[in-house]
């Protein structure tokens, strides 16, 4: 079957509307309808149920569209790889990062890219893992970097760990907890916690450690994916900041933040992983960025 016709089937399955699918495929609606009808005749099966509200796949349609989607994706990958091979292109770079790697790894990577490859255009999406996974699947990102606990396992994703980054709790100098000895996790909660979105498993663990009933959700006084904003809140109020050590290094060195030693908590960490689409090759530029990030994470890693 013609690849363009397979693309039409995928578009109709996604949009559930002949008009929208035709527009997406840059065809008139009659021409698009003829293409879908020809596919059904060629396969000898009805692939779509047509009604006034929306078009839906039949059981046979779901079977065919699932396989067509893989072929269409493989075709795009082949076109991209051939283009990279033919031109030996460095290529522009689009990557996504969660708030922790944005604060700890991105500054050095962007500086390196601007210094070594000034002609390369780089786009960085800083957002939560769910958003980044959606945009990766839409092929808008080469890869994204996030804590593995924030991303559900999926058959279409390739995952590679680049290491664990240690994390701690921080407060401003002069905070009531900054000089307290024998500090326990439960002592932190009354002051309010500030953090980026954290995995539910970690949130449950910290909640129990801080004296909450099992199953009771740990409250966050400030939840925000902008780590620099959270650090400002901690430096100007009594709020306790949960933060990767590498991201608070400068503030700790300048005494703008004080790291707390909480005696009844094990070492905390974030396992940074690279997520990419299975079956898709990386450009030379993406390969360079991945190698640099892996080496940088190893340098910053303080948790075995």
Both structure tokens of 201: 């498993």
Binned at pLDDT 50, 70 and 90, residue 302 comes out as very low
The contacts of residue 105 (CB under 8 Å, 6+ apart) are: 97, 145, 272, 293, 296, 297, 300
Question: With left for phi above 0 and alpha for psi between -120 and 50, is residue 279 left, alpha or beta?
Answer: left
State the pLDDT at residue 259.
96
User: Where do the structural domains in the chain lie, given as residue ranges?
Assistant: 3-86, 93-164+271-300, 167-268
For the domain bounded by 3-86, which CATH number is listed? 1.10.10.10
Provide the pLDDT for residue 277.
92
Tell me the average pLDDT of the chain.
88
- What's the rounded Cα separation, in Å, for the pair 151 and 280? 19
Q: Looking at the domain that runs over 93-164+271-300, which CATH code has it been given?
A: 3.40.190.10
What is the pLDDT, as a whole number, of residue 89?
A: 53
Which residue pairs, CB below 8 angstroms and at least 24 apart, start in 115-123?
Answer: 117/90, 117/285, 117/288, 119/90, 120/90, 120/91, 120/92, 120/93, 120/285, 121/92, 121/93, 122/92, 122/93, 122/94, 122/95, 123/92, 123/93, 123/94, 123/95
What was the pLDDT predicted at 14? Answer: 92
Its sign, for the CA torsion 193, 197, 201, 204, is: positive
What is residue 81's predicted lDDT score, i.e. its pLDDT?
A: 67
Please give the pLDDT value at position 91.
Answer: 66
Flag whether the pTM goes above 0.75: no
- The whole-number pLDDT of residue 88 equals 52
Whether 93-164+271-300 and 167-268 share one fold: the answer is yes
Position 251 pLDDT exceeds 90: yes
And the tokens for 244? 């990767």
Token pair for 130: 């769910």
β-strand partners of 94: 123
* pLDDT score at 304: 39
pLDDT of 90: 56
- Average pLDDT on 254-281 reads 91
The string of pLDDT tens digits covering residues 165-196 is 889 999 999 999 999 989 999 999 999 999 98
Just give the CATH number of 167-268: 3.40.190.10
Q: For 3-119, where are the E strands, in sequence order? A: 48-50, 55-57, 93-97
Query: What tens digit of pLDDT does each residue of 33-42 get?
Result: 999 999 999 9
Percent of the chain past pLDDT 90, that is, above it, reads: 51
Render pLDDT for 274-297 as a digit per residue (tens, 0 to 9): 999 998 878 888 889 999 998 888
Instruction: Note the pLDDT tens digit of each residue in 56-94.
Output: 999 998 999 998 888 888 888 777 767 665 555 556 899
CA 293 from chain center: how many Å?
15
% of residues, the chain, pLDDT over 70:
94
**pLDDT bucket at 55, cuts 50 / 70 / 90:** very high
- Alpha carbons 125 and 210: distance in angstroms, whole number: 34
Using the 8-state DSSP alphabet, how is residue 255 labeled?
A: T
């Amino acid at each position: 079957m013609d690849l363009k016709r397979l693309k039409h089937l995928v578009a109709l399955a996604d949009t559930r509307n002949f008009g929208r699918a035709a527009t997406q495929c840059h065809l008139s609606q009659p021409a698009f309808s003829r293409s879908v009808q020809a596919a059904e005749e060629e396969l000898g099966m009805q692939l779509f149920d047509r009604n006034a509200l929306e078009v839906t796949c039949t059981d046979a349609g779901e079977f065919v569209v699932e396989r067509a989607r893989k072929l269409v994706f493989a075709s795009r990958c082949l076109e991209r790889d051939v283009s990279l091979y033919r031109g030996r292109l460095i290529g522009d770079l689009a990557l996504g990062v969660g708030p922790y790697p944005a604060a700890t790894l991105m500054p050095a990577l962007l500086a390196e890219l601007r210094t070594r490859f000034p002609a390369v255009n780089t786009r960085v999406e800083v957002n939560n893992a769910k958003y980044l996974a959606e945009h990766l699947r839409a092929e808008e990102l080469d890869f994204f970097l996030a804590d593995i606990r924030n991303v559900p396992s999926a058959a279409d994703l390739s995952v590679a760990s680049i290491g664990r980054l240690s994390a701690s709790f921080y407060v401003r100098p002069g905070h009531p907890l900054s000089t307290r000895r024998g500090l326990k996790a439960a002592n932190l909660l009354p002051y309010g916690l500030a953090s980026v979105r954290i995995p539910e498993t970690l949130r449950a663990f910290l909640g129990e450690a801080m004296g909450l009933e099992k199953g009771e959700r740990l409250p966050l006084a400030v939840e925000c994916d902008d780590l620099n904003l959270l650090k400002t809140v901690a430096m100007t109020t009594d709020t306790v900041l949960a933060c990767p050590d590498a991201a608070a290094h400068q503030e700790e060195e300048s005494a703008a933040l004080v790291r707390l030693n909480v005696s009844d908590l094990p070492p905390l960490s974030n396992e940074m992983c690279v997520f990419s689409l299975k079956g898709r090759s990386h450009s030379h530029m993406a390969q360079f960025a991945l190698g640099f990030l892996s080496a940088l994470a190893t340098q910053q890693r303080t948790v075995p």
